[in-house]
Every structure is written in C-alpha cells, then in structure tokens.
Amino acid sequence: MGKPTGFIEFERELPADRDPLERVKDWKEFHLHLPEERLKNQGARCMDCGIPFCHSGTLISGMASGCPINNIIPEWNDLIFRGLWKEALDRLHKTNNFPEFTGRVCPAPCEGSCVLGINEPPVTIKNIEVSIIDKGWEEGWVKPDVPDKRTGKKIAVIGSGPAGLSAAAQLNRAGHTVTVLERADRPGGLLMYGIPNMKLDKNEVVLRRVKLLEDSGVIFKCNVNVGTDITAEQLLKDFDAVVICTGATKPRDLPIPGRELKGIHFAMDFLTANTKAVLDKSGKFITADGKDVVIIGGGDTGTDCVGTSVRHGCTTVTQLEIMAKPPLKRAANNPWPEWPKTYKMDYGQEEAAAKFGDDPRVYLTTATHFEGDADGNVKAVHVVNVEWKKDEKGNFGPQKVAGTEKVLPADLVLLAMGFLGPEQPLLDALNIERDPRSNVKAEHEKYTTSIPGVFAAGDCRRGQSLVVWAFNEGRGAARECDRFLMGETALP
C-alpha cells in the first residue's frame, strides 16, 4: 500500500458526467474521466485491509458481494497510486477479459463490500477500472492474444453475449479453434442490443473488442440461428464441444386486461430496435417522441428505457416500481458487506429529473389494466398503490390498497419486469435437460449438461443475473470444456 493514510486524507471523488440536458441530445457515452493525479488519490484510498472483501465474489442474502470474477482490486489500486499503469492493466487482465465492459455497465458489487464503506464512502473501484483499460487502449497496450499453437479441437460457442465472449476468449487462449454463432446481425448479444449506446458505445467499445478477438483467432458467424440455419445434429457432428451461452431472453409478461392493445411492448424490443437504428442510422424503431410513456418495472432495463425515451423526446415518462422506495442509508437488515439496497438516481432518472423536474419513479404501485381508444391503441394505464404484507392464506406479497386507484395517460407502455429464462426451441432441438425454472441444468463450477461435450454458462444456466456473473461463468465453462477436451487445463 503506497499511501497508508490515503483513506484518511482523500475523499471519494468521481468525474462529473456530461450535463443531463446536453447528453440527451445525442447517443454518445456520458461518463468522463478524472485527471491522472486525482485518480492516484482515489487509488490511495484503498486501505490494504486484512481481508479485502472487494474481490471475494460471494453471494450473501442472494445478492453479489464482492467481485464475481475475483478482480485483484487492491493490487491495481496500489499500482495506479504508484503511476504504474501498464502493470495495473496486466493485473486487471489476469482476471477480467473485458474490463471496458464491466467498468461501464457493472453495478460494482465490489464497492458495496469495500471495507472502507463500513463508515466512509467506498473506494471508487469501478471508475479506476475503466480508467485503466481506456488508457491501455489509448497507449496501444491492448493487443491480440494469439496462442502459440493450436490443439486441433473445434468448439462452437452459441451466443456472443458476455458469457459467450468470455468463453470464446479463454478457449482461444488455450489453443482451440473457436467459432461463435450469433443469431443477430452483429456480435455482442446483450452488450450490443440490450444496453443503449450512451451507456456502452458499440463501435468504439464493443466492436473494438470483437475485432481484437477476431485478430486473436476467434471466428464469428452472425445471422446464424442454431436449430434453423444449422441443426442440432450437425452442430454436435461438426464440433468437438459446444458451449451454450444464449442468455435468458424470455421476457416476463403482464397478463392484465388490455394487454393486447397496440403500443404496449417488451422493453428489450424497444431497446434493441432503437440501438439498431442508431447504428444503422436508419431503420424502423419504436419511438417515444411526443408520447406519454409508462415504464412498468425498475432495474437497469427500466432505467435504459427512461434514458432512451427522454432522448426520443417523450412528453412525459413515468416508471412504476412495485417495491418500496429504498432508504438513503443502509437499513439495519442490510448490513455490510451485503449489496447496499439504498436509494440512488441512475443516469436515466437523472435525465428525466433534469427535463421534467422530478424522479420519474413511482413506488409501491402496480398496474391493474390498460385502457385503449377506438382504434385499439393504448391511451391509459390504471394503477393502484400496494403494501407488502401477508394475505389471508399467509403468503407475503403486494396487496392492493383500496381507494388509491389512479389513471395515467399512456401512448407507449414498456414492460421491463425481468426475464423468465432462456428461449426453449434450441434447447428442445438439443433435447437437453433443464431445471425446474426452464434453465439449462448444469452445476455451477462444472457447467456440464446432460449431453457429453456440451456445456452451459451465463443466464441460460443461472437465470437473469449481472453481466459480471456471465463473465465468471463463461470463464468457468471454458476451463471445464478445456479439461474435457484435453484431460487437464491451465485455464483459471
């Protein structure tokens, strides 16, 4: 630890984002960087604590605590303080194939478990991480990772999202010939079409890394729908092993009266079409321009819908949250090092507040039915307040509060209530075993499915989760796949 008193001398500092009212005029990334000297001070706040929970990567109360890919955070914090940026990048790449992704879109469970965070604002781990990798790209330190020799083994990775990319990178590093099959027109999966451009730039960040993987020897084939364009039988015949990384893309629906009305869409359909239109500079997409928008559901997807709607030029935007508003500080039943369930304004809410004057979220509220006009278009959402308590059968859940009914005008409704699991046609075609939640049945840390030589990783195995857990699982599945093919493995 280069500065033993750094956590006493320096306060937590983050770079200022672009002004909300300015950034909503474009689709460019809104985060900025701190100058190097001030980043050194932030690295100096790392305490060299006896047990660094920041890279523990465990689940506590069902939530991530510490970094799931076990980034060795104290070491690169110290290296940044000492001005050793290239060494910091090497240390970061030991555990993280794509720090430019996690440094932008990961919610930073590492910071939630930072020991300094017990009684002070935690170390700015996420900002330091993205600063390291961005400097690495600027300086030309990030280069193709071409293996010294090839094993002669061929592996198909189905899906090019976070799990698929990390599995492909690791398997290529081991010397296998890896082909990534993607049904969309561009690789990246969730990183490409599930996250808006202003949060993760597609050309400058995602496709830059894909190009590096290609230069390293990974083969990408887009517009390939496994089960249709290539049969399951042919897949198993042509490759020595298969890693399924298709994600959990089946959205949760809201089957209430009026659901059939036009103007009600799943959030991912809205976000995907919009990103494609931004990249193609044309094309059809669902616009919020001049509309009253109601977003049902919170989380990152709901936030992305808010930010996208504001950029379209919506007239109003309201986000319905069925949960209670979180406290400003940790509640007594949410102690460190659990993920802090506290109130925060994410970028989308900040932008809506800057434009319309207030946080767009309405808490403890649920929709009861949709109202349409004479042409079958949605025109309103009927909502009611809820309270969380036990019903007459003793089941704890949201109960409607009589007399709190309201009607919200709505020309566009976006359903952002999470995902139920992977789509089933491919899994049906493979006749692969599934768990009770419809996910591919494969044990964590082993990733082996009911079919020898077929592995599964990421959301299709564990259900909807964080991007960083997908990276964890992609790396783990690559390790076990390599062991299956070679009898032993040197992959972490």
**The domain that contains 99 carries what CATH number?**
1.10.1060.10
- Which candidate, 353, 251, 263, places its Cα nearest to that of 306? 353
- Give the number of domains in the chain: 3
Q: For residue 148, is it within any domain?
A: no
Per-residue tokens: 94: 């030991």
Per the DSSP assignment, residues forming a β-bridge with 79 are none
Query: Do 168 and 316 fall within a single domain?
Result: no
Regions in the chain scoring below 70 on pLDDT: 1
Distances (CA, A) of 463 to 345, 432, 481: 26, 16, 21
Q: What DSSP character marks residue 314?
A: -
Query: Do 273 and 389 fall within a single domain?
Result: yes
Q: For residue 491, is it within any domain?
A: no
Per-residue tokens: 112: 């939630």
Q: Residue 1 has what pLDDT?
A: 67
Radius of gyration of the chain (CA): 23
Collapsed DSSP state (helix, strand, coil) of residue 264: strand
- d(Cα 126, Cα 379) in Å, to the nearest integer? 41
104 within 8 A of 149, measured Cβ to Cβ = no
Query: Do 397 and 413 fall within a single domain?
Result: yes
Q: Residue 284 has what pLDDT?
A: 87
Burial of residue 467 (number of CB atoms within 10 Å: 0-12, 13-18, 19+) = buried
Query: Do 205 and 260 fall within a single domain?
Result: no
Query: Do 24 and 159 fall within a single domain?
Result: no
Query: Do 384 and 430 fall within a single domain?
Result: no
Query: Do 464 and 401 fall within a single domain?
Result: no
Helix ranges restricted to H, 327-424: 347-356
Q: Indicate the residue type of 355.
A: K
Q: For residue 147, is it within any domain?
A: no
Which of 139, 170, 202 marks a domain boundary?
139
Query: Do 245 and 96 fall within a single domain?
Result: no
Q: For residue 146, is it within any domain?
A: no
In this prediction the pTM is: 0.95
Query: Do 285 and 392 fall within a single domain?
Result: yes
- d(Cα 274, Cα 271) in Å, to the nearest integer? 5
Who contacts 73 (Cβ-Cβ below 8 Å, separation ≥6)? Answer: 46, 52, 54, 55, 67, 110, 123, 125
Query: Do 277 and 206 fall within a single domain?
Result: no
| Per-residue pLDDT tens digits for 224-282 | 999 899 999 999 999 999 999 999 999 999 999 999 999 999 999 999 999 999 999 98
Nearest-10 crossing angle of helices 73-81, 36-44: 130
Domain range for 266 is 253-417
HEC readout, 35-76 = CHHHHHHHHHCCCCCCCCHHHCCEEECCEEECCCCCCCHHHH
Query: Do 279 and 357 fall within a single domain?
Result: yes
Query: Do 265 and 394 fall within a single domain?
Result: yes
**What CATH code is carried by the domain that includes residue 426?**
3.50.50.60
Which of 106, 139, 172 marks a domain boundary?
139
Q: For residue 343, is it within any domain?
A: yes
Which of 365, 385, 417 marks a domain boundary?
417
Q: For residue 149, is it within any domain?
A: no
Per-residue tokens: 481: 């796949």
| Per-residue pLDDT tens digits for 30-73 | 999 999 999 999 999 999 898 999 999 999 999 999 999 999 99
Q: Residue 128 has what pLDDT?
A: 97
Q: Long-range CB contacts (< 8 A, 24+ apart) of 276-279?
A: 276/185, 276/193, 278/27, 278/197, 279/186, 279/197, 279/202, 279/203
Collapsed DSSP state (helix, strand, coil) of residue 164: helix
Q: For residue 221, is it within any domain?
A: yes
Q: For residue 145, is it within any domain?
A: no
